Amino acid sequence: MPIDSERIEAAVVELLRAIGEDPDRPGLAQTPARIAASYAELFAGLDEDPLEHLAESAEFAGEDSSGELVIVRDIAFRSTCEHHLLPFTGVVHVAYAPGERIVGLGKLARVVETLSSRPQLQERLGDQIADAIERGLAPRGVLVVLDARHGCVTARGTRQAHSTTVTVASRGDLADAAERAGVLALIGAGAGSAIPEAELP
């Protein structure tokens, strides 16, 4: 279902009135249209299937099948927390142990972009990325680490401006504690974000 810009604009007008503002004053007159346009971008992933980005995977066999692990670190992402409709932003580290298929590295970032462009929870986002890679590539294992800063924590409530949240989702061989710890160590060795100490041996 496509974004209904007219309904968003009408809702923003009502919201502005509800907080005691005048939606017709010069500084706010274009705000409903701006928000509608930004929502079309922020929630574009609602109409996309992440598996489409993995459809053009290549066979990984013969001489090409010597690799044991693929890791893409520091994939920048932004999403919107569904509890407060405030942004959370950070990086995703994706690792997978190829089975019979591999995919262009940029396609993994596309999967992240599609799934993050929805009202989300960080924990669910990590699971959805791992599930998409598992379904799309049938790897021997998948590990997804998200490190994000949440607007609902930094801008309201406890206002912890420097706090970040780390979540981990693992599948297959990389769900094994020893295998997972080894991959987390590789990610942490060059990543721009922290890896949870509790996950390390």
The one-letter code for the residue type at 67 is G
Marked catalytic residue, from 53, 81, 113, 120: 81
Among this protein's residues, is 82 annotated catalytic?
yes
Asked whether residue 126 falls in the same domain as residue 149, the answer is: yes
For residue 113, tell me if it sits in a domain.
yes
For residue 126, tell me if it sits in a domain.
yes
pLDDT of residue 1: 64
For residue 199, tell me if it sits in a domain.
no
Among this protein's residues, is 150 annotated catalytic?
yes
Asked whether residue 30 falls in the same domain as residue 100, the answer is: no
pLDDT of residue 71: 96
pLDDT of residue 59: 79
For residue 71, tell me if it sits in a domain.
yes
Marked catalytic residue, from 53, 120, 122, 199: 122
Question: Can you give the CATH number for the domain in which 38 is found?
Answer: 1.10.286.10
**Residue 107 burial by CB count (10 A; 0-12/13-18/19+): exposed, middle or buried?**
buried
Marked catalytic residue, from 9, 113, 120, 150: 150
In this structure, are residues 137 and 98 in contact, taking their beta carbons and an 8 Å threshold?
yes
Asked whether residue 33 falls in the same domain as residue 129, the answer is: no
The Cα 151–Cα 47 span in angstroms is 25
For residue 201, tell me if it sits in a domain.
no
Marked catalytic residue, from 52, 59, 82, 123: 82
Cβ neighbours around 154 below 10 Å, total:
18
Asked whether residue 106 falls in the same domain as residue 167, the answer is: yes
Asked whether residue 80 falls in the same domain as residue 104, the answer is: yes
Task: Domain count for the chain, please give it.
Answer: 2
Mean pLDDT of 176-194: 83
For residue 145, tell me if it sits in a domain.
yes
Marked catalytic residue, from 21, 48, 100, 152: 152
Among this protein's residues, is 53 annotated catalytic?
no
Marked catalytic residue, from 21, 84, 100, 134: 84
Asked whether residue 67 falls in the same domain as residue 37, the answer is: no
Structural domain for 122, as ranges: 52-193
Among this protein's residues, is 81 annotated catalytic?
yes
Asked whether residue 186 falls in the same domain as residue 90, the answer is: yes
Average pLDDT, the chain: 90
pTM (2 decimals)? Answer: 0.88
Question: Can you give the CATH number for the domain in which 166 is found?
Answer: 3.30.1130.10
Bridge partners for 13 per DSSP: none
For residue 200, tell me if it sits in a domain.
no
Bridge partners for 168 per DSSP: 145
Asked whether residue 112 falls in the same domain as residue 56, the answer is: yes
Among this protein's residues, is 162 annotated catalytic?
no
Among this protein's residues, is 83 annotated catalytic?
yes
Q: What angle do CA 75, 80, 85 make, to 5 degrees?
A: 165
Per-residue pLDDT tens over the stretch 51-96: 999 998 887 765 555 568 999 999 999 999 999 999 999 999 999 9
